[in-house]
C-alpha cells in the first residue's frame, strides 16, 4: 500500500487521474491538468494561456491543489478542481472547497483523502442527509453542481467511487 507522508506526494497521481477522468468525459476537448498548490489560480493564469476564461478570473485569488482546464472550440474554458488532504476530511475542508467552487464555478469539484471522511462529516451527509451542503452552483432546469467527497484509493490511484458522496450524476 502506498502511504503518502505529505499532501504534495499525492499530486502527481491525482493529476494523472484527473486528466484521464476529464479526457473520458470531454473527448473532443483539449485537457490540461496542473498542480497549483503553490500558486493562486489568478497568478497562474496571468502567465499561462488557458483559453478563453470568464472575465472575473483575475479575482480568483484561490489556491486549489489540482486544477483541470477543459478547452473546447467556441466556449469558455471550463475548470475542474481537486483538493487533496492526507487526514480525514472535515467540514472545514469541505467549506474551503465550497468557497473556491462558488467563486470559480468548476464543472467538477472533488475533495479527496486516502483516509476518507471524518465521523462528523459522514454524520452530516449520511445520517442527517444534508447533501445540500455539497451544492455550489445552480442553473434552471439542471441538477445543482456538487462537490464530490471521496476516499482516494492509493493502490488503484483512483477515487473509491463506492463511498463517494455527491457524485451520483457522474
In the chain, which stretches have pLDDT less than 70? 1-2, 168-170
Domain CATH number, residue 76:
3.40.1350
Give domain status of residue 2, yes or no.
no
Predicted confidence at residue 1, as pLDDT, reads 58
Residue pair 125/142 in contact by the 8 Å Cβ criterion: no
Q: How many CB atoms lie within 10 A of CB 12?
A: 12
Domain count, the chain: 1
The answer to whether residue 1 sits within a structural domain is no
Task: For residue 67, tell me if it sits in a domain.
Answer: yes
In a domain, residue 23? The reply is yes
pLDDT the model gives residue 3 = 84
Tell me the residue range of the domain where 80 lies: 7-163
**Domain-embedded: residue 24:** yes
Q: Looking at the DSSP assignment, which residues form a beta bridge with residue 31?
A: 70
Does residue 170 form part of some domain?
A: no
Whole-number pLDDT of residue 170? 61
Q: What global pTM score does this model have?
A: 0.96
Whether residue 95 lies inside any domain: the answer is yes
Residue 169 in domain? no
Yes or no: say if 80 and 106 are a contact pair by the CB < 8 Å rule: yes
Q: What is the pLDDT of residue 117?
A: 98
Q: How is residue 121 written as a grid cell?
A: 462529516
Give pLDDT, residue 167: 72
pLDDT in tens, 89-139: 999 999 999 999 999 999 999 999 999 999 999 999 999 999 999 999 999
Amino acid at each position: 500500500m502506498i502511504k503518502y507522508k505529505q499532501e504534495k506526494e499525492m499530486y502527481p497521481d491525482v493529476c494523472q487521474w484527473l486528466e484521464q477522468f476529464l479526457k473520458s468525459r470531454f473527448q473532443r476537448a483539449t485537457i490540461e491538468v496542473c498542480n497549483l498548490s503553490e500558486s493562486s489560480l489568478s497568478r497562474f493564469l496571468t502567465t499561462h494561456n488557458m483559453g478563453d476564461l470568464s472575465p472575473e478570473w483575475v479575482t480568483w485569488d484561490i489556491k486549489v491543489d489540482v486544477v483541470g482546464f477543459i478547452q473546447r472550440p467556441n466556449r469558455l474554458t471550463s475548470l475542474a478542481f481537486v483538493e487533496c488532504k492526507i487526514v480525514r476530511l472535515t467540514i472545514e475542508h469541505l467549506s474551503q472547497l465550497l468557497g473556491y467552487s462558488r467563486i470559480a464555478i468548476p464543472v467538477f469539484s472533488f475533495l479527496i483523502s486516502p483516509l476518507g471522511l471524518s465521523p462528523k462529516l459522514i454524520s452530516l451527509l449520511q445520517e442527517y442527509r444534508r447533501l445540500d451542503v455539497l451544492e455550489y452552483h445552480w442553473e434552471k432546469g439542471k441538477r445543482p453542481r456538487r462537490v464530490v467527497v471521496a476516499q482516494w484509493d492509493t493502490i488503484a490511484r483512483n477515487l473509491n467511487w463506492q463511498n463517494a458522496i455527491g457524485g451520483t450524476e457522474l
